[in-house]
Chains A and B, each alone.
Chain A
Amino acid sequence: MPPLLNPPDGSAPQAGSPQETRPLVEITGLGHSFPDGWDALDGVNLTIAAGEYISLIGPNGSGKTTLAKHLNGLLKPTVGRVVVAGMDTLHVSVAELARHVGYVFQNPDHQIFSPSVREELSFGPRVQGVPPAEVERRVEEEMAALGLSALAERPPAILSPGLRRRVAIASVLTTRPDLLILDEPNAGLDAQEQEDVFRRVAAYNAAGHAVVLISHDMRLVLRWSTRCLLLSEGRIIADGKPDAVLSDASALERAGMRPPVLARLIQALAPYGMPAAELTASAVGQAYLNLLGGPQ
């Protein structure tokens, strides 16, 4: 077995180390058919390197969650192969893969059960055999990062939806996974909470951990991810920088989606000489001013 990507002491791989270049996930010819005959995934090939921030987009039923569940072994390939941290997911348990892949589910209530926030956050690393002092350190760090310190002894089940969401994310972050999967993490979060959560995730990513974000919110995809995969009917139909994928009108149309409003604006102004631009208000605004010959 190749060396583990996540060192046993829980520290993150150092930026620039040779580990960053080794693929964390290698998926070849992945297909998945459910018992009722539905082919949810078909011929998916994908490589994820440590430190990548990938967004999975596509309409409901396109296979985003099914693909993500293959990354931690909750679903096993019916065709093809999924290798995570050097392990073929077909031959290892979900518990073993959980040491490398953390999954934040759509509904936080599905994972919250402990009598206090502190215990909820320590549950993951404890079952993974992390030494108590290290568990405590991680719990304090995540509670501070996500604004949960004042609620440490409160039962998470009675917190507000936004706080429960933060507890769910923090409780996965304490396991220090090499790959963090976030399935629609912004539901129930207000603007400030979203900012806090995504800043923490960005910091975690900057420390060399890979992140997979499943979202229907294109603003989040554009702002945070560095690579975007567009899924349609169980296939990856576009893979590239978020700006490029979300400006690919024909691919989006095939998936039954529309480009974001800024991409549509650039497209509408293209006959007048509007150049391609990053899909941010300031970049598009600047490109428009350039087009008009205004101030730089």
Chain B
Amino acid sequence: MYEPGRSWLHRADPRLKLALAVSIAVVLLSYNNVVFMLLALALTVGTLRLAGISGQRLKAIWTILLPVAVLIPVLWPVFYHSGPVLLTWWKLKLTAWAVAQGIAASARVVTLGFLSAAVLLTTDMRALLRGLVHLGLPYQGALTVTISISYIPRIQRTFEQVTEAQMARGFDLSSGGFLGRARARIPVLVAALVSTFRSAETLSRALECRGFGRTDARRTSLYEIHWRPTDTRIAVACGLVIVVLLSIRFATGFGAHPLLPR
């Protein structure tokens, strides 16, 4: 998933990026205000664009997030009925707060998606691996995490290839009702899972053959990461903003309501 570049986000230490992503996620989960959430989304996407991530790549991520982004605001009014009523239809009551809360929740999920993408798109897997190890994760665990992330595009490709193979045998995956189409996916799902498990097994054996899992010798690293003074400056600046935002939220109650300031 990594898209090489020389932006400040690319050059930042992976530990800093992980810490920032977690802290920002905490802020996002603390706030409910729709305006705040939309601003956070715009800021995240803007930062990724400024970091040189192509619009095409951002569009691809947006396509993955789209079903969830649409489903949340659609379903929210079904379960949330507080606030001024905008519309009543059959047994459904659409309130202003439900609409705002739905949009805010949707924007939060999408922002969290782009936030994770910000780490993965701007961090070389070797750097992320070293970052996780320096944060205290055992090497085996860190490697498992980074390999899993690296495999996402590969699994996606496997699904595409399996879909093509089943279509080539005459299976129509695009027509029929929802249930029919879901049933039509079974051959794709089974073949893709078998294929993925098989390659996972092959990979684990290949790693073992290359000495992975040896514990009788101290592991050295060809690739190393270094914390720079710029990382400290970014950490301080962002840390201050995050502390201020959390203080405002919990000291004044600002941002707790989906539509009103407090």
Partner of A171, one of B158, B162, B164, B169: B169
Q: Considering only CB atoms and an 8 Å cut-off, how many residues of chain A contact the other chain?
A: 28
Report the bound CA distance from A101 to B168 in whole Å.
Answer: 8
Sample of 7 A–B contacts (CB below 8 Å): A69-B164, A72-B168, A98-B167, A99-B170, A103-B168, A113-B191, A127-B172
Report the bound CA distance from A184 to B169 in whole Å.
Answer: 18
Stretch from A43-51, A104-112, A243-251 contacting the other chain: A104-112
Residue B232 is within 8 A (CB to CB) of chain A in the complex = no
Interface residues of A in 52-108 (CB under 8 A from B): 69, 72, 74, 93-95, 98-99, 101-103, 105, 107
Report the bound CA distance from A86 to B218 in whole Å.
Answer: 67
Residue B230 is within 8 A (CB to CB) of chain A in the complex = no
Residue A232 is within 8 A (CB to CB) of chain B in the complex = no
- Which residues in B have their C-beta under 8 angstroms from that of A157? 194
Report the bound CA distance from A72 to B166 in whole Å.
Answer: 12
- One digit per residue, 1 when the CB lies within 8 angstroms of any chain A CB and 0 when it does not, for chain B 151-191 equals 00000001001101111111110100000000000111011
- One digit per residue, 1 when the CB lies within 8 angstroms of any chain B CB and 0 when it does not, for chain A 111-138 equals 1111000000001100110000000000
| Chain B facing A: main interface SS | helix
Q: Do A98 and B168 form a contact, CB below 8 Å, given A105-B161, A109-B195, A109-B198?
A: yes
Q: Do A111 and B170 form a contact, CB below 8 Å, given A105-B161, A105-B165?
A: no
Having A110-B162, A113-B166, A113-B191, one finds 10 other A-B pairs with CB under 8 Å, namely A69-B164, A98-B168, A101-B168, A103-B165, A110-B165, A110-B195, A112-B194, A113-B187, A171-B169, A172-B169
- Which residues in A have their C-beta under 8 angstroms from that of B172? 93, 95, 127
Query: From residue B237, how far is it (CB to closest CB) to chain A in Å?
Result: 37
Report the bound CA distance from A103 to B169 in whole Å.
Answer: 7
Q: Considering only CB atoms and an 8 Å cut-off, how many residues of chain B contact the other chain?
A: 22
Residue A205 is within 8 A (CB to CB) of chain B in the complex = no
Does B169 contact A110, Cβ atoms closer than 8 Å?
no
Q: Do A95 and B191 form a contact, CB below 8 Å, given A105-B161, A111-B162?
A: no
Binding site for B on A (CB under 8 A): 35, 69, 72, 74, 93-95, 98-99, 101-103, 105, 107, 109-114, 123-124, 127-128, 157, 171-172, 175
Query: From residue B194, how far is it (CB to closest CB) to chain A in Å?
Result: 5
Query: From residue B178, how far is it (CB to closest CB) to chain A in Å?
Result: 19
- In the A-B complex, the 5 residue pairs with the smallest Cβ-Cβ separation, listed nearest first, are A98-B170, A113-B190, A111-B165, A103-B168, A95-B172
Does B164 contact A74, Cβ atoms closer than 8 Å?
yes
Partner of A113, one of B56, B167, B170, B194: B194
Query: B168 — nearest CB in chain A belongs to which residue?
Result: A103
Report the bound CA distance from A35 to B57 in whole Å.
Answer: 12
Query: From residue A127, how far is it (CB to closest CB) to chain B in Å?
Result: 5
Query: From residue B163, how far is it (CB to closest CB) to chain A in Å?
Result: 9
Report the bound CA distance from A171 to B165 in whole Å.
Answer: 12
Report the bound CA distance from A173 to B162 in whole Å.
Answer: 18
- Which residues in B have their C-beta under 8 angstroms from that of A123? 169, 187
